Structure 1
Amino acid sequence: MKFLFFIFTIILVFISCNKIGNKNIKDIPNDTIKIPENISVEKNCLEKVQGYKNKYGIVFSNYYKNESLGIDFDNNKTTDTVTVLKPYYQNSINDCYPENSEFDFPILLISKTINKKSKIFKIFKNVLKPNTPVYYEKITTNKTGFVISKDITGNNGFYTKTYVSFKYNNFYLDSIYVESWGLHQYEKTIRFRNKAFELSRYKRTDIDSVRNILDNQ
């Protein structure tokens, strides 16, 4: 029964991911990440974030604050970079919050160091969610890649760790660990084989789908 449930969960995740295909990821060196067009920000706030930065092998708007971690994901004894671009008002105490900030998502960048210079390797725009008073997300590194942790607080708490590793010149999900407490109490790990689940096909709402399945099993 557990094996069938495992297969069923993977199938559901793949079905949801196939709808977006490779739209999450771009491999365009020196691309420019601009201010999102669908976010409504007051003019006086935008005036504070004019201009661009050129870091990690890519140009991005000052609208984004960058948080980076060093990682040697391809084991060539050179430090590469995992970077999260967050809208400037996140983790801030100013009043420049757009009305639809819940749709203003962080961007995940992965850069390789080649000849002592950063070159953009992957851009993932559909993986991360913004932090809120009841939701906290962070990225940490490990020996094989990195981990995306999500912590949902409240009476019915939910905690997950998505393990991502670099292999076959790409990033893949190794496993998703989930823990729930409150009304629904369980602890499970969903594992994926080799090249079964590319990170480019993962989207931020997949964890919600997994939680819904587990809560109702």
Structure 2
Amino acid sequence: MVFISCNKIGSKNGEDIPKDTIKIPTTISVEKNCLEQIQGYKDRYGITFSNYYQDEPLSLDFDDNKTIDTIAVLKPYYENSKDDCFPKNSEFDFPILLISKTINKKSKIFKIYKNVLKCNTPVYYEEIKINKSGFIIFKDLTGNSGFYTKTYVSFKANDFYVDSINVESWGWKQYKKTIKFKNKTFELSKYNRTYVDSIRNNSDN
């Protein structure tokens, strides 16, 4: 099995690419003049992923074993591209959240979440920050009616769970509310990127 470094052009031979590699989404069509930016693969965080994605890592010790682990967001390359490389169907292209565990000084992929980031609102800002129990996903949905959310995620029982979602609206309806899940089991794997959209729609109607 060959891992292709980020400095090499990726082989088209499928046997050279690990089966669990995160590849270019099959639903996305990339223009020829943009292909040079995304050739090849990176081997990081215990997994191989296409140069189609640019990674943004954060350090944390989520299992409190005094070993630094990593949370990384893989964003499509065109979000930071200076060229006009937006594919026509980019609205169906979502960032990927990776969580990597350090074992014997080596990274091992622990969790992959492909449907928790980005939402259906065209104009938004999203950021992840580390806290004592895990991390917080901040979403700022701008536009004519502002909507700000904080999704609190914690690590327990060897998994990640959504503890609560704090929302604040300052649009045509102004309100603040917190939805708590601490007495329920709400795995992050069951959390959907459109969950915030649903909260907003239900609260505004």
Which residue in 2 is equivalent to 1:214? 203
| Count of aligned residue pairs for this structure pair | 188
Q: For the Cα contact (< 8 Å) 2:119–2:196, is it kept in 1?
A: no
Which residue does 2:157 correspond to in 1? 168
Does residue 1:89 correspond to 2:78, yes or no? yes
2:48 to 48, 53, 59: 59
2:176 maps to what in 1? 187
> Helix, strand or coil for the counterpart of 1:121?
strand
The reply to whether residue 121 of structure 1 matches residue 110 of structure 2 is yes
| CA-to-aligned-CA distance 1:7-36 (integer Å, 9 cap, x gap) | xxxxxxxxxxxxxxxxxxxxxx98200010
Separation of aligned partners in 2, 1:40 and 1:130: 21
User: C-alpha distance in 2, partners of 1:131/1:69?
Assistant: 25
Give the alignment's TM-score, normalised by structure 1: 0.83
Q: Distance in 2 between matches of 1:117 and 1:131?
A: 36
* TM-score where L is the length of structure 2: 0.87
CA distance in 2, matches of 1:42, 1:147: 35
Report Cα offsets for 1:97-123 as digits up to 9, x if no partner: 101111111000000000001000000
Q: Distance in 1 between matches of 2:20 and 2:122?
A: 33
Identity %: 74
Q: Which residue matches 2:59? A: 70
Asked whether the 8 Å contact 2:151–2:164 carries over to 1, the reply is: yes
**C-alpha distance in structure 1 between counterparts of 2:204 and 2:118, whole Å:** 21
1:109 equivalent among 93, 98, 108: 98
- 1:201 equivalent to 2:175? Answer no
CA distance in 2, matches of 1:30, 1:114: 22
Structure with higher helix content: 1
Structure 1 residue 40, shift from structure 2 partner: 1.3
Runs of 4+ in 1 over 4 A off after TM superposition: 130-133
Letter in 1 for 2:202: I
- SS at structure 2 position matched to 1:89: helix
Deviation at 1:131, TM superposition (A): 10
Contact 1:126–1:204 (8 Å) recurs in 2:
yes
Segments of 5+ residues of structure 1 without an aligned counterpart are 1-28
* Larger RCO: 1 or 2 (CA < 8 Å, sep 6+): 1
The separation in 2 between residues aligned to 1:194 and 1:164, in whole angstroms, is 14
- Assess, with a 3 A threshold, how the Cα gap between structure 1 residues 194 and 52 changes in structure 2: closer, same or farther: farther
SS in 2 for 1:32: coil
Q: 2:120·2:194 contact (CA, 8 Å) conserved in 1?
A: no
Cross-structure match for 1:11: none
Aligned 8 A contact 1:135 1:151 in 2 = yes
Distance (whole Å) between structure 2 residues aligned to residue 172 and residue 179 of structure 1: 22
